[in-house]
Each structure stands twice: as structure tokens, then as C-alpha cells.
Amino acid sequence: MGGSWGGPPWTFAVGPGVRPGGCAAAIRHRQAARSRGAEETTGPAPWLSPSASPERTWWADSQADDGLMLGSWVGERRVDRKAGRLSGDRIAALDELGFVWDGHKARLDRGLAALQAFIDEHGHARVPRSYRADDGFTLGTWVQERRRDLKAGRLSDERITALDELGLTW
């Protein structure tokens, strides 16, 4: 799961294999989407937190006008940060844009928020498989994925507790 951005002060390459100008292209993509009032509601994973406005929620398969694969670019930034190849200024600039460094946690948080909204509306946590939230989030699929994760032993105790507290039926 990945995300992307950058900005004028950090438009040059930041490490091996990083495309020069990638940050600038990502910013242009974001600004163009915002000017169109675009809202992307499909795709495997958000790059920004679920609380971000729709024009700031991009997906792993998003592509800038110049062909930059933004999902790949974001993944590279995450790797660069872990490897110590991003300066503090670049990290701060990405943080200011709402960059999500942990895409898995962001998707979990988004799912929990969508599940809570479903419960608030319907009074229960029995989400139909085909259920899609108003913003396009495929909550039914997300719930099924969490059930599979539980069976496979991939859910932490913290995540299980959070889902149990919402009343999810396993």
C-alpha cells in the first residue's frame, strides 16, 4: 500500500533509483486533482489518512500526467526514510502535506472509521460483503479481509480488540 507527494524545495532525486522531479510531478498531480474537484474512490490503498480531504486521498495505482507512478514513488520515500536517506527537511515537508508513513495502519484506521460510521447508521456491525461506504470505501471487503487475517493469525491483539470493541462478528 503506498502514497505520494513532494514539493519545490525537494524536487531533486533523494536516493538511488529515485526519479528526479518525482516530488514536483506528484505536487502537480495533487494540484490538478484539487482544481478539478477530483475525488478518487477506487483502488487498493489510500496514501493519506482517512481524515484527509478527498482531493488529498490518492491510490497506489494513481499516475501523474507525466507517467510517474505515484504509488511506487511513495513506497520509495518510505524505504528512503527507513534507510536514513531522507533529510529532516524533506520528512517535515512530506509530513506537512499529510504523507502517511505507515500505509497499513492508515488503511486499518480508515476501515475502523468506516465501520464505526456503518454502526452509527445501522445499529450493528454485520456489514454485507458488497457494502460500499458513501465515499467509495469497500467496507464489506475490508471486513472480510480482517476475518481472513484473524484466521491466518495476521491480526495483532490490539487490532482484534479494536474490532471486538466495535462489535464485529467474526
> Is the full-model pTM beyond 0.75?
no
Q: What is the pLDDT of residue 82?
A: 93
- Confidence check: pLDDT of 125 > 80: yes
Q: Which residue has the higher pLDDT, 119 or 5?
A: 119
Yes or no: say if 46 and 107 are a contact pair by the CB < 8 Å rule: yes
Q: What pairs with residue 99 in β-bridges?
A: 48
Residue range 8-50, pLDDT digits in tens: 232 222 333 334 345 555 555 555 555 555 443 333 333 443 3
Residue 73's pLDDT is 85
Check residue 57 and give its pLDDT: 45
The DSSP symbol for 167 reads: T
**Residue 57 identity:** T
**140 within 8 A of 128, measured Cβ to Cβ:** yes
Residue 69 — very low, low, confident or very high, per pLDDT cuts 50/70/90?
Answer: confident
DSSP state of 18: P
Residue 168 amino acid letter: L
Q: CA 112, CA 165: separation in Å to the nearest integer?
A: 11
Tell me the pLDDT band of 106, cut-offs 50, 70 and 90: confident
